[in-house]
Chain A
């Protein structure tokens, strides 16, 4: 069965607001490699609109750093599913909008053939964590305290304490630490 991977950048105090993160080259490379290991990206509408059209434009113009340009090209090349009730149409061809039940759709996708599935954002992953169907976590923790903003797991009500297993960790030159956990 395909694994569902949730990956996100956070600050040391757990803030996951994208404007507060350290977006260094190594972080972009880390996420590019992660995307190369999956063949489906899952987002909610808000995260999708943060990523698109921004990254597809970078993929076309190749206007950023080498790491960001490669991130953009990889992002564009992967199929996407967006959960939204309000989005009329997707901007790119390999994106499908889903309006039905999140749990049923994800469980169905996990049963399908393919590589692993990567989910980003906050709202949709929060629901998936509550449902207990996230198989792997990637947290890239930046060495900053911001003291505000939405925190990871804020408002999430887990049915039970969830024990994870640390399987890998990496340090970036910026001081970010990438932690990889499996669900137990």
Chain B
């Protein structure tokens, strides 16, 4: 995992692109939505957004996510940040994969019907998918 992370191009939403010491890295530019569109249009491997409660809502709002991979943990909290913020645009998704097992993890994969993509960890051939995942222990 460390090798993959190190080798992948890291696209970063930042006001200080000069500060990106962990390369290969690139700033998204002053307009992150435009920045992501530009990178998607370029081709190349799929993009992954891992977490980020500020970046993710912006990408969902602009329809830039093709696939959502959710890992749902078997815990009730009652409070805290939500993955889908209030006012997230209504959207139907297609469940494309689901893994669940009684003892362990539970994955759900859903794919938006629109296009997106931010690139990220290297390799996968460029497909328009987005994955949300969830887990249990």
Which residue numbers of A lie inside 8 Å of B, CB to CB?
12-14, 129, 141, 143-148, 151, 153, 156-158, 161-169, 171, 175-177, 179, 181
In angstroms, how far is the closest chain B Cβ from the Cβ of A55?
A: 27
In angstroms, how far is the closest chain B Cβ from the Cβ of A168?
A: 7
User: By the criterion CB–CB under 8 Å, are B84 and A14 in contact?
Assistant: yes
User: By the criterion CB–CB under 8 Å, are A12 and B132 in contact?
Assistant: yes
User: By the criterion CB–CB under 8 Å, are A175 and B78 in contact?
Assistant: no
Q: Does B125 contact A (CB under 8 A)?
A: no
User: By the criterion CB–CB under 8 Å, are B93 and A169 in contact?
Assistant: no
7 extra A-B contacts, CB within 8 A, seeds A153-B76, A175-B95 = A12-B70, A146-B90, A169-B100, A169-B106, A171-B98, A177-B95, A177-B98
User: By the criterion CB–CB under 8 Å, are B95 and A158 in contact?
Assistant: no
Q: Which of B68-117 contact A (CB under 8 A)?
A: 70, 72, 74-79, 82-84, 86-95, 98, 100, 102, 106, 108, 110
A163-B75 in contact given A144-B91, A169-B100 (Cβ < 8 Å): yes
Q: Does B17 contact A (CB under 8 A)?
A: no
User: By the criterion CB–CB under 8 Å, are A153 and B78 in contact?
Assistant: yes
**Cα separation A145 to B68 with both chains bound (whole Å):** 12
In angstroms, how far is the closest chain A Cβ from the Cβ of B125?
A: 24
Q: Of B77, B79, B93, B137, which one neighbours A12 at CB under 8 angstroms?
A: B93
In angstroms, how far is the closest chain A Cβ from the Cβ of B109?
A: 10
User: By the criterion CB–CB under 8 Å, are A158 and B94 in contact?
Assistant: no
Residues of B within 8 A of A156 (CB): 78
CB<8 Å pairs between A and B, sample of 29? A12-B132, A13-B83, A14-B84, A129-B78, A143-B93, A144-B93, A147-B86, A148-B86, A153-B76, A156-B78, A162-B75, A164-B136, A165-B74, A166-B74, A166-B102, A166-B106, A168-B100, A168-B102, A169-B98, A169-B106, A171-B95, A171-B98, A175-B94, A175-B95, A176-B95, A177-B98, A177-B108, A179-B72, A179-B100
User: By the criterion CB–CB under 8 Å, are B95 and A165 in contact?
Assistant: no
A157-B95 in contact given A166-B136, A181-B74 (Cβ < 8 Å): no
**Cα separation A156 to B92 with both chains bound (whole Å):** 27
**Cα separation A12 to B98 with both chains bound (whole Å):** 14
Q: Report the interface size for chain B: residues with CB under 8 A from the other chain.
A: 31
Which of B78, B84, B98 has the most chain A CB within a 10 Å cutoff? Answer: B78
Q: Of B74, B77, B92, B98, which one neighbours A158 at CB under 8 angstroms?
A: B77
Q: Chain A: which residue is nearest B83 at the CB level?
A: A13
Which residue numbers of B lie inside 8 Å of A, CB to CB?
60, 70, 72, 74-79, 82-84, 86-95, 98, 100, 102, 106, 108, 110, 132, 136-137
Q: Chain B: which residue is nearest A167 at the CB level?
A: B102
Residues of B within 8 A of A158 (CB): 76-78
User: By the criterion CB–CB under 8 Å, are A175 and B110 in contact?
Assistant: yes
**Cα separation A167 to B102 with both chains bound (whole Å):** 5
User: By the criterion CB–CB under 8 Å, are A147 and B100 in contact?
Assistant: no
**Cα separation A145 to B75 with both chains bound (whole Å):** 21
